[in-house]
Structure 1
Amino acid sequence: MTYTVDFVTVSTVGLESSPVADALAGLRANEARYFKNKYDHVFTVEPAGEAKAAVDWVHRILKEERDIVISSRPLEATAFQVENIRMAYVFYESGLSVNVMYTVDDAKKRAVGFKLSEGMDVPEELASRFKFARQKSKLAGTIRGSYFVVKNEY
C-alpha cells in the first residue's frame, strides 16, 4: 500500500518497528519536503516488499560499486524520476536512509547518499568507509550524512 509522506504532520506509519521511528519519520518527511519544494513532486513510499525493484536496484549499486551489504531490514522504498534524475530511496529499520541520485544524461552526476536518523549509531558496514557530516533539520533533528559517486551504468 502506497503512503504519501506528509511533511506538515509527521507520522511513523510504516516505520513503527524502528527503534528510532520518530527520527526516521522526520528524516523521511525532510526528504518529502525537499522534493515538494524543489520539484513539486509528491513523495510516496511503499512497503519494501512491494517496492522490490527499487530495493534491488539500490542494493545492486551498493554491492557492485563498494561491496556494501546493509544488514538492517528495509522497511520502505520508493523510486521515481524528476526532470532528468532517476531517484530511489530505501528506509531501513535501523534508522538509515539510502538514496541513489542517477542522472539519466550525465554520468558525472550520479551518487549514493547515506543519512542517519538522530539517535542511531553508524552501521558497522559503513563506519570504517565513510565520514559523516552533520546537518540540522526542523523535521529530523540532527541528520548525519555521507555519499559516494557512482562510477558504472545501472
Structure 2
Amino acid sequence: MTYIVDFVEVSATGLESSPVADALAGLRANEARYFKNKYDHVFTTGTPEEEADALEWVTRILREERDIVIASPPLEATAFEVDRIRMAYVFYESGLSINVMYSIADGGKRAVGFKLSQGMEVPEELASRFKFARQRSKLAGEIRGSFFVIKNEH
C-alpha cells in the first residue's frame, strides 16, 4: 500500500517489524522533509512488491558496482525523478536506508548513499568497506552515513 510520508507527525507505519522502527521512521521522515523543502516533492513509499522495479534497480547497482548483497529484508521502497535526477530509496528491517542518486545528464552526479538508523549496528556487509560519518537530525536523532560514487551506466 502506498504511504505518503508525513514529516510533521512521524509514524512507523510500514516499518513496525524493525527493531529500530521509530528511528527508521524518523530517518524516512527526514528524507521526506528534505525532498519537500528542496523540490516540493511529496515522498511516498510502497511495499517491496509494489516498488519491485526500484528495489531491483538498487539491488543490481549494489551488486554490480561493489558486489554488495544486503542481508536484511526490505520493508519499503520508492523511486521518482526530481530536477533531472533519478532517485530510489529502500528502507530495510535492520534500520538501514539506501538511496541511489542518478543524474540523467551525462557527467552528472551518480552515487549510492547508506544511512544507519540510531540504535542499529553497522551491517556486516558494509562494515569493512565503509566509514560512517555522524550527523544530527531533529527527526531521526543521530544518523550515520556513507556513500560511494557509481562508475558504470545503470
User: TM tier, shorter chain?
Assistant: over 0.9
Partner SS state of residue 47, structure 1: coil
**Structure 2: 5+ residue stretches without partners:** none
Q: Where do residues 1-154 of structure 1 align in structure 2 (5 Å cutoff)?
A: 1-154=1-154
Q: TM-score, normalised by structure 1?
A: 0.99
Partner SS state of residue 99, structure 1: strand
Alignment partners' CA distance in 2, 1:138 and 1:36: 16
Q: TM-score, normalised by structure 2?
A: 0.99
Kindly report the root-mean-square deviation, in angstroms, between the aligned alpha carbons of the 2 structures: 0.6
Q: In the TM superposition, what whole-angstrom CA distance separates every residue of 1:94-148 from its partner, at most 9, and x where no partner exists?
A: 0000000000003341000000000000000000000000000000000000000
Partner SS state of residue 19, structure 2: coil
Alignment partners' CA distance in 1, 2:138 and 2:58: 27
**4+ runs deviating over 3 angstroms:** none
Amino acid at match of 1:90: V
Alignment partners' CA distance in 1, 2:92 and 2:106: 29
Aligned length: 154
Amino acid at match of 2:78: T
